[in-house]
């Protein structure tokens, strides 16, 4: 077997730089015969050599060394510039045969095959081309089902990556096997019943398959940031995050090594991120409560001032200020917090941030509320005209 490998390497190094050179038909035929005999001898001897090894350890070691040798030769072939001459045809044939030999090893000697070794880029590119129509169809199905553009981009980038210079570059066999399993699982997923929440269903699938790529993890973080930065009460945000934490915890991770064997599982990463966000919200609320309590000295009110309108009228006035950009804020919840903690209304109403948000967003406001606020604004204009002209 070593002799056959040496012959193939020597053949590549000797004739690899002779592309498009003038070679006689007789010499070309001799080269074809030489390369064919070397590959045939290699194929015929491999099975016997593995079986005849004394124990499992020797078979594992032998198979891994053979994998590395074949990968090295395939990588050398990839560096040869391919022309349209007959010599280039021999190199193409040789590349195909050696890739087929790697597949043979994986199929029939899978228990000894190492998934930790590199996978030839040409091998991945060749097989991706074969399943390209299937991948395109899956992406089309995905776009019909999922409206989230970021998630669609993530999915299509992975399936249609060319494995040359992209973010989902497949370097090792375990990543290649993950890619094949992912396509099979995605096909089953799209052939099933349409889920009520497609984006959540896809995220659950990613966790189940352990698609623990850095880019997938980044998508989950952006998704959670979208929840945390919404204009809503902390209680509602916590409720949504706890809901995600609950459904993600229930998922069983089927492939522990996942796409990136050196990383934690996607389930662990996401659980840690959600837990950290919930802890941050809890600590923020505790700090806020501590500050509020610290200002409540005997005989001193925490309310800065009183407004001579009702809560509904105050919310309408604040809404007009926001709509006209007199008052600018990233989150309306900041307005609700300030009003709840520092402003007393004419009726000294006891209101929550949720009730303020409901009133702030209500449409249309009653005629009475609009009239009263308008009267106050007119009164202010009249005061300016009287005293500041």
106, 64 contact by CB (below 8 A) = no
Whether the pLDDT of residue 85 is over 80: the answer is no
Q: What is the pLDDT of residue 290?
A: 65
Query: What pLDDT digit, counting tens, does each position of 123-156 carry?
Result: 888 888 888 899 999 999 999 889 899 999 999 9
Q: What is the pLDDT of residue 84?
A: 53
What share of the chain in percent tops pLDDT 70?
89
**Please, which pLDDT band fits residue 185 given cuts at 50, 70 and 90?**
very high
The domain ranges of the chain are: 2-114, 127-286, 305-387
Which pTM does this prediction carry?
Answer: 0.71
Per-residue pLDDT, averaged over 229-243, amounts to 82
- Of 233-242, 317-326, 367-376, the one with minimum mean pLDDT is 233-242
| Cα distance between residue 372 and residue 2, in whole Å | 95
* Alpha-helical regions (H) of 55-211: 56-79, 86-108, 121-130, 132-145, 149-159, 173-191, 198-209
Per-residue pLDDT, averaged over 214-219, amounts to 94
Average pLDDT along the chain: 84
Q: Three-state DSSP class for 343?
A: strand
The partner residues of 172 in beta bridges, in order of sequence, read 118
Q: What is the pLDDT of residue 1?
A: 73
Q: How big, in percent rounded to 5, are the helix, strand and coil portions of the chain? A: 70, 0, 30
**Three-state SS string across 117-147, please?**
CECCHHHHHHHHHHCHHHHHHHHHHHHHHCC
Return the higher-pLDDT residue of 292 and 241. Answer: 241
Q: What is the pLDDT of residue 299?
A: 45
**Please, which pLDDT band fits residue 183 given cuts at 50, 70 and 90?**
very high
Count Cβ atoms below 10 Å from residue 212 Cβ, excluding itself. Answer: 27
Placement of tokens 């597949």 in the chain: 103
Whether the pLDDT of residue 246 is over 50: the answer is yes
Per-residue pLDDT, averaged over 341-366, amounts to 71
| Cα distance between residue 383 and residue 287, in whole Å | 42
Q: What is the pLDDT of residue 311?
A: 82
What share of the chain in percent tops pLDDT 90?
34
- Kindly tell me the sign of the dihedral angle through the C-alpha atoms of 357, 361, 366, 367: positive
Whether the pLDDT of residue 36 is over 60: the answer is yes
Q: What is the pLDDT of residue 274?
A: 94
> C-alpha distances in angstroms, 63 versus 40, 47, 49, 304, 337?
18, 10, 10, 78, 66
**Please, which pLDDT band fits residue 191 given cuts at 50, 70 and 90?**
confident
Whether the pLDDT of residue 300 is over 50: the answer is no
- Of 35-39, 94-98, 126-130, 347-351, the one with minimum mean pLDDT is 347-351
Q: What is the pLDDT of residue 349?
A: 66
Return the higher-pLDDT residue of 311 and 260. Answer: 260
Query: What pLDDT digit, counting tens, does each position of 7-21 carry?
Result: 888 888 888 776 656
- Of 22-26, 122-126, 252-256, 286-290, the one with minimum mean pLDDT is 286-290
Per-residue pLDDT, averaged over 238-260, amounts to 92
């Amino acid at each position: 077997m070593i002799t056959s490998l040496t012959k193939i390497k020597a053949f590549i190094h000797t004739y690899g730089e002779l592309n498009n050179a003038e070679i006689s038909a007789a010499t070309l035929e001799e080269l074809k015969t030489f390369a064919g005999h070397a590959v045939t001898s290699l194929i015929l001897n491999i099975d016997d050599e593995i079986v005849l090894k004394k124990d499992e350890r020797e078979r594992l070691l032998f198979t891994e060394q053979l994998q590395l040798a074949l990968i090295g030769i395939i990588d050398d072939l990839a560096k040869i510039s391919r022309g349209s001459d007959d010599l280039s045809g021999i190199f193409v044939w040789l590349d195909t045969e050696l890739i087929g030999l790697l597949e043979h090893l994986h199929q029939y000697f899978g228990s000894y095959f190492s998934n930790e070794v590199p996978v030839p880029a040409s091998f991945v590119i060749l097989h991706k081309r074969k399943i390209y129509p299937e991948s395109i169809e899956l992406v089309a199905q995905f776009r019909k089902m999922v409206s989230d553009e970021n998630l669609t981009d993530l999915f299509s980038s992975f399936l249609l990556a060319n494995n040359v210079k992209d973010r989902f570059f497949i370097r090792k066999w375990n990543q290649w096997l993950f890619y094949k399993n992912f396509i099979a699982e995605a096909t089953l997923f799209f052939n099933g019943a349409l889920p009520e929440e497609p984006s959540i269903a896809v995220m659950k699938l990613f966790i189940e398959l352990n698609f623990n790529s850095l880019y997938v993890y980044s998508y989950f973080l952006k998704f959670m940031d979208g929840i945390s930065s919404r204009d809503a009460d902390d209680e509602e945000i916590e409720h949504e995050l706890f809901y995600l934490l609950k459904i993600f915890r229930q998922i069983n991770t089927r492939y522990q090594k996942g796409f990136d064997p050196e990383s934690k599982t996607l389930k662990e990463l996401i659980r840690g991120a959600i837990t950290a966000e919930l802890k941050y919200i809890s600590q923020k609320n505790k700090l806020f409560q501590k500050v509020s309590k610290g200002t409540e000295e005997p005989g001193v009110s925490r309310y800065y001032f009183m407004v001579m309108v009702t809560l509904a009228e105050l919310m309408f006035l604040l809404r007009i200020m926001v709509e006209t950009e007199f008052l600018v804020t990233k989150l309306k919840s900041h307005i609700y917090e300030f009003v709840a903690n520092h402003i007393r209304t004419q009726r000294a109403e006891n209101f929550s941030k949720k009730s303020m948000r409901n009133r702030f967003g209500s449409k249309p406001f009653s005629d009475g509320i609009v009239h009263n606020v308008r009267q106050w604004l007119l009164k202010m204009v009249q005061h300016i005209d009287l005293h500041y002209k």
